[in-house]
């Protein structure tokens, strides 16, 4: 049981611990020659992702992540960069680890494959958490072993049926809802401290590259003691493909009665100059809150 809503804590010990973790992060990236950057918290555009809601103000949107702003920097010649910043989501508070405002760490590595970045993320989390066990596995193979079928070979209707067979859920389900529920159950039945899944279905490709040979998005997610903590990609840098994905996002938004989001043409244009790279977002506040709760429970 979480003893306190960490985001509102005023005790010095909490802020001292948080500051220590942030210092460790900055020291790590300084040692690796990764440049710290600062992008706007308020921009005229926001993400089109149908499952993320932004907070709108009279002057634009509070950012749900610095992804597009940082990729604009990459498109204008930046190399390896990182950023620590508060981000905002217009959604209900769902427990102590899911807040409307939280500190996010995001970084990009030029000419690095997503599996190399996955190793770096694992190393950084171990640096911050100490001696923890780690498992890295193909998501397709992990789901196949757990549910005894290859989800990559199932139709959307079959995946929905599988979801309802294994999980007590009612109401309409989108395909990605099904995957989320199935992955969540898989993670909860894993005993490893840090679980890393790589290779995601096409419907969950977001802004990652897609590998037609493996029929998987070049994407990974990290789960620390059952909680999602990081999400990384080999980044798509094709403006035509990215525009098509944005348009598809808006089509889905219409289907689920959410407003269209105007496309960020500055971001799309910057993709023409963005080098091959991989990027990841890691919830620093969530990691800190999880560490504190485990320390208080022990």
Q: Which pLDDT band holds residue 222 (cuts at 50, 70, 90)? A: very high
* Structure tokens, 246: 């944005």
CB proximity list for 174: less than 8 A, separation 6 or greater: 252, 256
CA–CA separation, 132 vs 124, rounded Å? 12
Q: From the CA atom positions of the chain, what is the Rg in Å?
A: 19
Predicted pLDDT at 96: 65
Predicted pLDDT at 3: 44
The answer to whether residue 160 is domain-embedded is no
The answer to whether residue 92 is domain-embedded is yes
- Cα distance from N-terminal residue to C-terminal residue, the chain: 12
Question: Looking at the 3D structure of the chain, how many domains does it have?
Answer: 1
Q: C-alpha angle 190/191/196, rounded to 5°?
A: 60
The answer to whether residue 198 is domain-embedded is no
Residue 1 has pLDDT above 70, yes or no: no
Q: Which of 204, 158, 153 is nearest to 183 (CA)?
A: 204
Q: Give 112-164 pLDDT, tens digit per residue.
A: 999 999 999 999 999 999 999 999 999 999 999 999 999 999 999 999 999 99
Residue 2 has pLDDT above 50, yes or no: no
**pTM for the full model?**
0.94
Output phi, psi for 154, to 5 deg.
Answer: -95, 155
The answer to whether residue 248 is domain-embedded is yes
DSSP 242: H
The answer to whether residue 16 is domain-embedded is yes
The answer to whether residue 13 is domain-embedded is yes
CA–CA separation, 144 vs 182, rounded Å? 11
3-state secondary structure of 44: coil
The answer to whether residue 118 is domain-embedded is yes
* Structure tokens, 27: 């020291």
How big is the chain, counted in residues? Answer: 298
- Which helix (H) or strand (E) segment holds residue 144: the answer is helix 139-147
Output phi, psi for 70, to 5 deg.
Answer: -70, -35
Range of the domain at 106: 6-131+237-297
Mean of per-residue pLDDT scores for the chain: 94
DSSP 5: -
Q: Give 67-95 pLDDT, tens digit per residue.
A: 999 999 999 999 999 999 999 999 876 66
60 has which bridge partners?
57
The answer to whether residue 123 is domain-embedded is yes
CATH number at residue 269: 3.30.930.10
């Amino acid at each position: 049981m979480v003893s306190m809503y960490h985001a509102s804590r005023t005790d010095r010990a909490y802020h001292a611990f948080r500051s220590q973790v942030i210092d460790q992060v900055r020291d790590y990236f300084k040692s690796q020659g990764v440049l710290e950057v600062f992008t706007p918290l308020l921009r005229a555009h926001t993400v089109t992702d149908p499952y993320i809601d932004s907070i709108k103000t009279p002057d634009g949107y509070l950012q749900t992540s610095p992804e597009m702003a940082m990729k604009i920097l990459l498109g204008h010649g930046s190399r390896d960069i990182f950023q620590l910043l508060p981000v905002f989501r217009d959604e209900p508070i769902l427990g102590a680890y899911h807040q409307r405002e939280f500190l996010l760490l995001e970084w990009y590595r030029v000419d690095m494959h997503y599996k190399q970045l996955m190793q770096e993320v694992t190393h950084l989390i171990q640096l911050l958490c100490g001696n923890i066990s780690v498992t890295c596995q193909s998501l397709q193979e992990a789901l196949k072993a757990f549910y005894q079928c290859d989800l990559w070979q199932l139709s959307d209707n079959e995946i929905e049926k599988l979801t309802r067979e294994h999980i007590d859920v009612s109401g309409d389900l989108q395909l990605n809802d099904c995957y989320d529920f199935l992955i969540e159950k898989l993670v909860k039945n894993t005993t490893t401290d840090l679980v890393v899944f790589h290779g995601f279905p096409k419907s969950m490709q977001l802004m990652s590259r897609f590998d037609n040979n493996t029929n998987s998005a070049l994407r990974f997610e990290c789960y620390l003691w059952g909680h999602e903590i990081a999400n990384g990609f080999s980044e798509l840098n094709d403006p035509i493909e990215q525009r098509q994905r944005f348009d598809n996002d808006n089509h889905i938004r219409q289907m689920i009665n959410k407003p269209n989001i105007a496309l960020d043409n500055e971001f799309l244009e910057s993709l023409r100059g963005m080098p091959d790279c991989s990027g990841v977002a890691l919830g620093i506040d969530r990691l800190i809150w999880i560490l504190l709760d485990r320390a208080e429970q022990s």
